[in-house]
Amino acid sequence: MSSSVLQHSTSADDLLLRPHESAQDAAFGDVDAAKHAHSDDELDAEEYSISVQRPLSDDKDETLPLEIAFSASAGAFVYQMGVAAYIQDHFDVSNCHFSGCSGGAWAATLLAAGTSVHEAWEVIQKIQKKVVPANVSWYSGYGRYATIIAETIMNLWKDDPDVYKRVTERNLSIAVTRFPSMTSEKHTTWDDLEDLMRSIMASAMIPFALSGKPCVAHRGNWYVDGGFTNFKGVNCDQYSTWSDLFYHTKQLAVDSVRSTTNAVTDYFFPSLSKPIANLIHHYLPSFESPHDAIAPRLANAPANPQGVNGSTPSRPRLIIKPWTWRSQSVLTYHLAVDIPTHQKRFDMGYDDARAHHYELAELLTPLSG
């Protein structure tokens, strides 16, 4: 695959950000936003880019597996299903690893199982019509989603009871949070289908919303939503939701100051835009992500002194979040159960993935034919 630059419309939340990287190393740089902030064409240093380096190996067959991770998503899990369906329809994921958290654990499990995402979507609709009353209200899904999850899984794989073995072999990792200690755990092996089902449910256990209870009992422990400790759903011991949120909060504050100051300068002192923008860039602090391990770098890639510290090797990852390619409204994360809303979200995820096929093709092998 080439190391061409991918245009990406997501925010600074994507994977790992570093200052001063060249455009040739950028895999998901938001060029339009950078131009608006005077960081690409007017500043001396490029402000935001993400480095994806290909392996330098004489053996072309020796490559590290790509991890496809699905973040926490609440009611937007159907959007992620749409993305997963497109990936399944158009790319070979046989050599990939899979991980997920909360609503994202469902899409990750489907890909790891090799089960048709379209078929799973049909089963969900069937179960929802059975569990949810005909006169659907905005709150009808709350307290019922646990039943929907359980019945969907048991119906979908009733003739495939060994699916739990298959997802283990395909390196599925489901992020959960142990309660009340609020420590992160990963479930990577299962004893049977019900064990797998309860791991998926534990990962998505938003207190009181999923089943009306604050937590779920599983494997002799209590669990709540995996997003509390591993929001991005990555199979990574070093990842912490809270330190990641703190990093992005600081980065957002700096970005807001920079963009606001640039806008004011453009309006009142247009002739001084470039020198003032450079001055702001020089004096505002730069932050480094606390999570080198979630950067999409390969273990045998050389260290880049201006980019990610290569001394902490990690694997390539494709993280699918509901806001990867678009800004989602707050209502998107509401646990809706009306079929038209779900269908719209599923189609939106599929269409967004199709529109960004070229990004996916940089990391995944397209299916022949």
Which are the catalytic amino acids?
Answer: 102, 225
Report the DSSP beta bridge partners of residue 98.
68, 172
248: its two tokens: 């992005």
Separation CA 198–CA 283 (nearest Å): 50
Separation CA 353–CA 85 (nearest Å): 9
Separation CA 363–CA 2 (nearest Å): 10
Mapping DSSP onto H, E and C, the string for 339-352 reads HHHHHHHHHHHHHH
Residues, the chain, total? 369
Rounded (10°) angle between helices 117-131 and 104-113: 130
Separation CA 77–CA 355 (nearest Å): 19
- Tell me, rounded to whole angstroms, the distance of Cα 271 from its chain centroid: 41
Taken in order 299, 300, 306, 311, the sign of the CA dihedral is: positive
Separation CA 83–CA 323 (nearest Å): 12
Decide if 247 contacts 287 (C-beta within 8 A).
Answer: yes
The candidate with the shortest Cα–Cα distance to 87, out of 66, 57, 59, is 66
Separation CA 95–CA 237 (nearest Å): 22
